[in-house]
Amino acid sequence: MNELQEITDYIHSMKIKKTIFGGYEREDVFVKMGELTSMFQRYIDELRKEEQEKQKHFLHFFVIQRTVPLIFSIRPRSELC
């Protein structure tokens, strides 16, 4: 299951304790918000990690594309004289 689906499922199944006179228990709301924040932070961290991997692969590909033609364009000394 992907992270966003996990977060959505958590929100839909969340059961926050209610107070006797209406509303929600403050402590329980903070606990649920903390859990939700942690889930989003893990999701953001995973997205950052994926983006860094993509940039790393792109940079590697870019360097190879620029370097290989340069290597093959260098002429031997015998041709320069």
Contacts for 16 with CB less than 8 Å, ≥ 6 apart:
24, 25, 28, 29, 32
What pLDDT shows up at residue 59? 79
Q: Which residue has the higher pLDDT, 65 or 7?
A: 7
The model scores a pTM over 0.75: no
Contacts of 4 (CB under 8 A, 6+ apart): 43
All structural domains of the chain with their residue ranges: 3-73
Residue 68: the pLDDT is 64
pLDDT digits (tens, 9 = 90+) for 32-64: 999 999 999 999 999 999 999 888 888 777 777
Of 15, 31, 50, which Cα lies nearest the Cα of 39? 31
Looking at residue 30, what is its pLDDT? Answer: 94
